[in-house]
């Protein structure tokens, strides 16, 4: 995993959250579909879910790479979709609180999502450091800008793999991991 996190910058706690419907109100796939005028996104996702072709949460990545209606998507479309994602009201405050030193405890906030990394980084710009966002990573054709490959999808076990990489990189153990639950304002250890 490529990350700018310094191994010697050990946090007291690592706080990790999903993005779609945890920090945001809607699935980023819906936002992108609306932006592109694709009306049957939900039907496509349901079909992929029934086929068990991809992990739950990785449907958008699959569609972006393989579905003819999504083949026109370029990096700039993903960034624009992120700007259109409606975040939950207190996400910025939540991130600011975690940046502080709470009663001698420090926190590092990460977002781990199956959504395209460009979407999540754009939506959380100025709130979460770009290097603390782990989302689906794509390879792009240098001549056309088209998505040419799916490099990594943090869906299903992919999220666990990101957490394990972070634990190794930050030199922390599972006892210092807090997951933000769907209400995102409460954490469990």
pLDDT at 1 over 90: no
Beta-carbon count within 10 A of 146 CB: 17
Q: pLDDT, tens digit, for every residue of 146-177? A: 999 999 999 888 888 998 898 888 887 766 65
* Whole-number percent of the chain with pLDDT over 70: 86
- Report d(CA 168, CA 163) in Å as an integer: 9
154 and 163 in contact (C-beta within 8 Å)? no
More confident residue, 73 or 184: 73
pLDDT of residue 100: 80
Q: pLDDT, tens digit, for every residue of 2-33? A: 333 444 444 478 888 999 888 888 889 999 99
- Report d(CA 43, CA 147) in Å as an integer: 22
């Amino acid at each position: 995993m490529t990350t700018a996190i310094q191994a010697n910058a050990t946090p007291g706690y690592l706080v990790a959250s999903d993005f779609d419907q945890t920090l945001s109100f809607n699935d980023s796939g819906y936002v992108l579909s609306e932006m592109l005028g694709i009306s049957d996104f939900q039907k496509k996702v349901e079909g992929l879910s029934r086929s068990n072709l991809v992990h739950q949460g990785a449907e958008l990545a699959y569609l972006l790479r393989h579905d003819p209606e999504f083949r026109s998507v370029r990096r700039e479309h993903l960034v624009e979709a992120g700007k259109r994602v409606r975040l939950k009201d207190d996400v910025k405050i939540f991130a600011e609180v975690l940046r502080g030193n709470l009663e001698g405890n420090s926190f590092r906030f990460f977002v781990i999502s199956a959504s395209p990394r460009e979407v999540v980084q754009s939506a959380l710009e100025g709130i979460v450091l770009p290097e603390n966002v782990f989302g689906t990573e794509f390879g792009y054709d240098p001549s056309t800008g088209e998505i040419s490959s799916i490099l990594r999808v943090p869906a299903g076990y992919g999220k666990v793999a990101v957490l394990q990489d972070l634990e190794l990189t930050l030199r922390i153990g599972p006892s210092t991991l807090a997951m933000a639950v769907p209400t995102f304002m409460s954490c469990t250890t």
